Structure 1
Amino acid sequence: MKMKLNKIALGITAFGLMSVAASASAETWRFGLEEIEGSVQHGYAEEFKKLVEEKTDGEVTVELLPYGSWGSTYSALYDAVQSGSIPLAFGSGALGGTVPESQLLSLNFVTPADQLETAKVLNSPAFLKSDPWQEAFRERGLVPLAELTEGYQVWTTNKPIEIPADMDGLQIRVMDNSLLREAYKAYGAAPISIAYGELYSALQQGQAEGNIQPVFAHEEMGFYEVQDYMIFAKQAQFVATLMGNLDWYEGLGDEQQEMLDEVTAELVEKGYNIQDEFNSTRLDTIKEKSDIKIIELTDEQREKFREMAEPVRQTFIDDVGERGEQALDILLEEFDTE
């Protein structure tokens, strides 16, 4: 009996040691999101988590950190990635303060109206792995791993916008991004920056007269409730860069880096489908719950805005330098939108 108990004890001890060894070898990748649960970024991140954990047989787990769980300002998230306390995160419009060249993705009328084509080109080696794009991030202790397109940036206002003259003096809210401000000044608007959490009341009280968001954000935050028109100009898509801490990334083995490439490649079309479903469903909700008027600009109307937006490319180049110009040239060539 004593011998049997000893065998059981040895078995339990061995199992315990195996469990400790397994937990010691397991890794946890913290992934910071700029958006809340139920968002496009969250949908993409859930798929990313699933694929990484499947491909590593559970040796890597991914912990998702939606907006609010890491802080309240985007700069806090970007700082956390640069320091390595959060190894993975999304960065979008506000990332320009950390990586100035990233403002390229905020330029109007650079990407085509076709959303899937945009997603494919932004994630192609020709752009994503290009020296200027990689160097722009790596110089700041970051590495770009993928680009997530989240749908058209749609305007909402309290008056119809069909030609650039309709934008004259319009106080339209933009993200805290100098290039975005220049883009809307070029149309004649008076862009202002307001904290995202304060935007609904600002629109309601008339402190802002217009707003720019993907459809899902207009619905999610209820902005459509306090605006009369929703205008689709297809001038730009909202793009978030999936980026990693450079030291963390370079510390991964070749197999893990290759696995990351496989995962992000699989997610290009999945990411497109996620945003397409989100934005289509949310637009239907907006139509059902409100009498907001939808305006879709014709190609001729879009061309007038495009002509006014084109000089802002030079503003971007002047601000960020040769590396930004090289990245822009790559996109223009790949998209054939010069």
Structure 2
Amino acid sequence: MLRKYAVLFGTIAALAVPIASASAQTALKWAHVYETSEPFHTESVWAAEEIAKRTDGRYKIDVFPASQLGKESDINQGLTLGTVDVIISGSSFAAREFPPIGVTYFPFIFRDADHLLAYTKTDKYKELTGGYEEASGHHITATTYYGTRHTTSNRPIEKCADMQGLKIRVPDVPAYLAMPRACGANTAPIAFAEVYLALQQGTVEAQENPLTTIDAKKFYEVQKHIILTGHIVDHLNTIVSQSRWSQLSDEDKAIFTEVMQEAAARATKIIVEREKALVDTFKERGLTVTEVDRADFEKNVIEKVTFEEFGYRKEDWEAIRAVQ
């Protein structure tokens, strides 16, 4: 009888070992809408592997690119529903939960990528991301430079008034509309996937995006001019869901934050280097690349657009502009 019990307990103990080790690893889903070739994906994969290393394999993070888990609005909702644990998304979506954080999309708030990165180390950044966390429950761990938005067109543009009556495709995001409308352009919210065809067919005669996007989507094939308006220094946030963040120990929170910020810095460096090379590339392709009077564009935006209409606070804009 004793032998039977010994065998029985031995069997139970043997079965318990794989169960315990399996439960020791936590699986997470990391989602974004960018292609696998883009640094937002490659550095997310790096971060997932690095977190696994630094936590001794306690976390297994699978990265789902190219809208595999839904459009940007879907994955933002997924944070709350618990269908995703980590996402990369723009502040325009965070602003739906906490409008003031959207001021970072207001035209000409940032001078360049370095200014954006300097802002992420300030108390104002902590205040705005903290306001988003209080409103949504979700935690922003890092911010990545996405690229500086410039304009392409089939007509030459040097100053704001040259955009009067221009038919331009702009994403249907309030702050993105500010500069073109302040300059008298007619904006059209055409779906991103349809922009090339719309430019080719003349439905619109201009669009705006970072140089890396202009290159990747081959907009240069159907546009004559690249106008370096630099009106928005765009960025993306890495966000961990409330449910996941609350379950992490302080030690793991520190690891997640450190790795995600390292990944953001790596992606930012890649984007900055690509942008520098692209100006010459576009010139070699026969396009006219024009430096504009940015002060003229900025003056028109400040005079004709209010912060309040977007739910932004002027004091936030002033504080961020003053960052050195």
Task: Give yes or no for TM over 0.5.
Answer: yes
- Please tell me whether residue 328 in structure 1 is matched to residue 321 in structure 2: no
Cα deviation, residue 219, structure 1: 1.4
Q: Aligned residue for 1:129?
A: 126
Alignment partner, residue 296 of structure 2: 304
Q: Distance in 2 between matches of 1:56 and 1:196?
A: 39
The separation in 1 between residues aligned to 2:85 and 2:306, in whole angstroms, is: 32
Name the residue aligned to 2:105.
Answer: 106
Instruction: Tell me what 2:163 maps to.
Output: 167
Q: Which runs of 5+ in 2 are unaligned?
A: 1-6
Q: Which of 298, 317, 334 is matched with 2:308 structurally?
A: 317
* Segment drifting more, 238-247 vs 196-205: 238-247
Q: 1:87 to 1:326 in 2, by over 3 A?
A: farther
**What is the deviation of 1:333?**
3.2
Deviations 1:28-87 (A, max 9, x none): 22111121111132133133223312211221122111123012x321121112222112
User: Is the alpha carbon distance of 1:285 and 1:84 closer, same or farther for their aligned partners in structure 2, counting shifts above 3 Å?
Assistant: farther
Q: Deviations over 1:226-268 (max 9, x none)?
A: 1111111222212111112123212211111111222234345
| 1:105-142 CA distance string (max 9 Å, x none) | 211111113x2232232x21423322x43113431232
C-alpha distance in 2, partners of 1:170/1:217?
A: 21
- RMSD (Å) for aligned C-alpha atoms: 2.7
Q: Are residue 46 (structure 1) and residue 35 (structure 2) matched?
A: no
Establish whether residue 293 from structure 1 lines up as the match of residue 282 from structure 2: no
The residue that corresponds to 2:90 in the other structure is: 92
Q: Which amino acid aligns with 1:205?
A: Q
Aligned residue for 1:64, secondary structure, equals strand
What is aligned with 1:245? 241
Residue 93 of structure 1, CA deviation: 6.0
Equivalent positions of 1:135-214 (< 5 A) are 135-214=131-210
- Percentage of pairs with the same residue: 21
Change (3 A) 1:183 1:226: same
* Distance in 1, Cα, partners of 2:297 & 2:281: 29
Matched-pair contact (CA < 8 Å) for 1:40–1:150: no
Write the distance in 2 (CA, Å) between the matches of 1:228 and 1:94: 30
Query: In the TM superposition, what is the alpha-carbon distance from 1:188 to its structure 2 partner?
Result: 1.6
Residue 225 of structure 1: how far off its partner (Å)? 1.0
Aligned length: 316
Amino acid corresponding to residue 320 of structure 2 in structure 1: L
* 3-state secondary structure, aligned to 1:77: helix
- 1:21-100 correspondence to structure 2 within 5 Å: 21-71=20-70, 73-92=71-90, 94-95=92-93, 96-100=95-99
Show structure 1 runs of 5+ residues with no match. 1-6
Residue equivalent to 2:4 = none
Conservation of the 8 A alpha-carbon contact between 1:147 and 1:241: yes
Give the C-alpha shift of residue 159 in structure 1. 1.2
Aligned-partner SS, 1:86: coil
**Distance in 1 between the 2:125 and 2:20 partners?**
37
Instruction: Answer whether contact 2:87 2:239 (CA < 8 A) is retained.
Output: yes
In 2, are the aligned partners of 1:106 and 1:236 still within 8 Å (CA)? yes
Could you tell me how far apart the structure 2 residues matched to 1:222 and 1:246 are?
39
Aligned to 1:249, the other structure's residue is in SS state helix
Q: Distance in 2 between matches of 1:229 and 1:93?
A: 29
CA separation in 2, counterparts of 1:270 and 1:17? 42
Letter in 2 for 1:302: R
CA 1:211–1:98 in 2, change beyond 3 Å: closer, same or farther? Answer: farther
Does structure 1 retain, via aligned residues, the 8 Å contact 2:91–2:237?
no
Give the 3-state SS of the residue equivalent to 1:310 in structure 2. helix
Alpha-carbon distance, 1:18 to partner: 4.0
Distance, in Å, in 1 between the alignment partners of 2:300 and 2:253 is: 42
Alignment match, 1:119: 117
Please state whether the residue corresponding to 1:139 is helix, strand or coil.
Answer: helix
